[in-house]
């Protein structure tokens, strides 16, 4: 059975999406949190395999200048199959026309995104709610 792709929120099983992020593993994201961030995202994609949610991703975008791809998650059972690459490619295609497309990577996955055309952003700066945790996980440098 082929994969089913969708961008719809109206029939999304939010607890299933919450489980996807926990198993991917991309952390604990509550249903309320996911409703907020996916609801505020211009582009999103959800992938089902035989009815089961196996991948998701989203992009915040302003329609002209900047699109930010984030929260790309694939169930471990489907990792290594090219599905993550396909989700990112779809979000990049939806983001075409923006002057820049940004992506925030989990430490250690930069090589994967380089193969998709992304380069390190040398001037990026960030403020994290959990600054020390972000430094410990390798998301932020010190100083």
CATH number at 55 reads 3.40.630.30
Residue 117 placed within a domain: no
Q: How far apart are CA 142 and CA 103, in angstroms?
A: 21
**Total domains, the chain:** 1
Residue 83 placed within a domain: yes
| The pLDDT of residue 1 | 64
Residue 139 placed within a domain: no
pLDDT more than 70, % of the chain:
99
Residue 17 placed within a domain: yes
User: Each residue of 8-23: pLDDT tens digit?
Assistant: 999 999 999 999 999 9
User: Each residue of 51-85: pLDDT tens digit?
Assistant: 999 999 999 999 999 999 999 999 999 999 999 99
Beta strands in the chain (DSSP E): 4-6, 43-49, 52-61, 66-74, 100-103
pTM reported for the whole predicted model = 0.91
Q: How far apart are CA 57 and CA 71, in angstroms?
A: 5
| The pLDDT of residue 108 | 87
Instruction: State which residues form the domain around 62.
Output: 4-104
User: Each residue of 86-102: pLDDT tens digit?
Assistant: 999 999 999 999 999 99
């Amino acid at each position: 059975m082929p994969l089913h792709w969708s961008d719809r929120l109206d029939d999304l099983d939010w607890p299933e999406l919450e489980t996807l992020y926990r198993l991917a593993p991309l952390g604990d994201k509550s249903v309320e949190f996911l409703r907020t961030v996916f609801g505020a995202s211009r582009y999103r994609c959800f992938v089902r395999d035989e009815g089961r949610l196996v991948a998701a991703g989203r992009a915040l975008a302003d329609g002209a200048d900047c699109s930010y791809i984030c929260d790309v998650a694939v169930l471990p059972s489907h990792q290594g199959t090219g599905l993550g690459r396909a989700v990112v490619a779809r979000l990049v295609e939806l983001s075409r026309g923006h002057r820049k497309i940004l992506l925030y990577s989990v430490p250690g996955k930069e090589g994967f995104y380089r193969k998709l055309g992304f380069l390190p952003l040398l001037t990026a700066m960030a403020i994290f709610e959990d600054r020390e945790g972000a430094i410990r996980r390798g998301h932020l440098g010190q100083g």
